Each structure stands twice: as C-alpha cells, then as structure tokens.
Homo-oligomer: A and B are copies of this chain.
Amino acid sequence: MFIPDPVIHRLPVYYRHLQQLHLQGVKQISSHGLADIMNLTASQIRQDINRIGAAGRQGFGYSIEELKNYIAGLLAMNQKRKMIIIGAGNIGHALAQSGSFAGESFETIAVFDNNPEKIGTAAGNYTVRSIDSLQSFLADHPVDIAVLAVPADQTQRIAENLKLFGVKGFWNFAPIDLVLGTRAAVVNVHLTDSLEVLSYQLDQLPKSE
C-alpha cells in the first residue's frame, strides 16, 4: 500500500488524538468531529482514512479504538526500537534525560560523544561512551535508530559510518537534510520549520489590542 508522505506525517497526530479520546471513554467519532480536532476538512479526513486502507461506517463514523489500533499497527508501535544518542551536547542531554519515548516504544540504550571531557560523565541515566567504541558496541547490541545530535558538519560522515555498522534508522537534529539512500530511514527534525509556522500564525492574528 502506498501512503503519501503528508498522510504519513499526520498519522502520529491522529494517533495522539485518538488515544486521548479513547482514554476519555469516547467510542466513536464522525469525520466532522475528527476534522475539528485535526484542523482539516471532513473530506480530507475521509480521504486520509481511505488512503491508509481503513474505513468508517455509514451513519456511525469511525470506531476510535479500531482506528487507533490500526494506525498503531501502521506506525509499528508494537515493535520496541532500540536507540543510541550520538552527541552529548544540550540536545543529546535533553533526549537522554527522557530516555524512552512514546511509552516504552523507543528506548535509549547508550549515549556517545567524541569529546574526552564528556566521555565518562553522566547524561540522564547513561554514562557517555567514547565514539571510538561505537563499532564494538553495535556488534554486541543491535540498534534500530541513531539519534544524531552532533554539529552539522560532522553529521553526514557519522551517519554513513553508522549505516556501515548496520544502523538503519536516523533521527537527525542537525539543521541539514541527511541523504543515505534507499536502505536507510531518515527523519530530519528541522525545529526551525515549526517556528516559521508560528510566525505565519502570529501574522494572521487579529491586530486589535
């Protein structure tokens, strides 16, 4: 099944809202109800849900639990992903502090840096390891995702090495677009994008005091 990129990027948002409704005890929702929550039109909601191969029922709408579980399946949320953090600067520390993400779906197992002053210090509950020990670490500990929190000019080279060592997923916080070919999965975070969206929204506010 081919799912367009914009729809894929909305799946976690659907999931979050459906999870919240589910916890509130809501059982079903119409495309109009979802449209309000998602800030889309009802027809976009129906199109998204058709695209992912799910369906509602005429006059009933969507079963929240079914749709939530279906999206969780698409996002492979039942699979535990092991992560390592590369770079123990501020972003690396912030992420190491969280340790795991999305419940226990994503679990950090180690943190690496190349700075001798950082190696051996604490980052969250982890002791920062030398980046020179990466290859031997990966031989013993299979890892799904490398979190890249290193300077932009080092990111591509480090990612290529990690790929050679067998890592297939890359969550990149450096402000560049990593390119690693079709045998790796890459998400470039680009925090500034959301700040520019905020700037647009600020400009749309009513100008009165």
Contact = CB atoms under 8 A, between A and B. Distances in A.
Given A76-B202, A205-B183, A171 B195 contact: yes
A193 B94 contact: no
B12 A192 contact: yes
19 contacts: A4-B40, A12-B192, A13-B193, A74-B200, A75-B197, A76-B202, A79-B203, A81-B202, A89-B94, A90-B93, A91-B94, A102-B195, A144-B202, A169-B201, A169-B202, A171-B198, A183-B206, A185-B201, A186-B198
Interface residues of A, number: 61
Interface string A95-111: 00100011001100000
Contacts of A77: 196, 199
Interface of A: 4-6, 8-13, 15-16, 39-41, 44, 74-77, 79, 81, 89-91, 93-94, 97, 101-102, 105-106, 144-145, 168-171, 182-187, 189-206
A52 B169 CA distance: 34
Given A81-B202, A94-B90, A183-B206, A8 B192 contact: no
